[in-house]
Structure 1
Amino acid sequence: MAKSKDLEPRVTALEDKVDELSKQVRTSQHDAAAARVLAGGADRDVAEIRTEIRDFRKATTASFNAMREDMTDFRRDVEVRFGQVDQGFAEMRGKLDATAAGQQQIVTLLDTLIAHEKDKPDTGSADSSKFD
């Protein structure tokens, strides 16, 4: 009988231990299920972020390409306008050169006229005093 008295507390202890282990298994199963749900959510989040990054990259690339085209157009317009300014300066330079040449002709004519008047003898007329 000593064995039967010794057996009952051992069986009770084993039953308690099995109950405890069963609770731990159920808790682990719940934790595993929750972890699977969280992992699935994380996978969806990662997929969404990848899509958003891909869309952002496409939008950024499109924006840079549009800006590059705008800068190319702007540079082309500036070059055309600088060409127009250069042409305007060349036209003005031509006009100023023509004006200077005309003024030089006037100076030459005046020098010739003055020299011609100095070579004339003084007759005492009123016309000779015009250039003194």
Structure 2
Amino acid sequence: MSSVEGEVTSLRRESATARKDAAAARVLAGAADRDVSEFRQILTGHTGVLNALRETQIEHGQRLGKVEVRLDRLETKVDEGFTKLNLGMVQIGAQLQTLLDRE
């Protein structure tokens, strides 16, 4: 076998190996592309869930703000009611004392 024939044979082997390597690389690239696509779908789903959670938190914050306002009003009414009650008890006590002093 001549030197040229040996080189041609060697180049053919290298070419066959390169083709096999290229085919394997295409398979791996395809799998990687599918994986990336799947991860994008998952990420999109997670992003949607987080956005929905954010909207719910905003809504809850608004509702809590309204509840706090109502609670403050109720607290004011309760304080006013106890103030009136205490004043009434003082008046009743004074009237009872007046009656006791007459006897």
Does 1:85 pair with 2:75? yes
Cα deviation digits, residues 18-59 of structure 1 (max 9, x gap): 111100011101111211221122122212212211111111
Does 1:18 pair with 2:5? no
Choose which of 20, 27, 31 in structure 1 pairs with 2:17.
Answer: 27
1:45 maps to what in 2? 35
> For residues 113-124 of structure 1, what are the structure 2 equivalents within 5 Å?
113=102
Does 1:76 pair with 2:39? no
Give the AA of the match of 1:74: L
Cα deviation digits, residues 71-93 of structure 1 (max 9, x gap): 32233224323422321221121
Structure number with the bigger relative contact order (C-alpha 8 A, sep ≥ 6) is 1
Q: Distance in 2 between matches of 1:34 and 1:106?
A: 104
Aligned-pair distance for 1:109?
Answer: 4.8
RMSD: 2.1
Give the AA of the match of 1:68: I
How many residue pairs get aligned? The number is 103
Larger Rg over CA atoms: 1
Aligned sequence identity (%)? 27
Structure 2 gap ranges (5+): none
Give the AA of the match of 1:104: A
Choose which of 52, 57, 61 in structure 1 pairs with 2:51.
Answer: 61
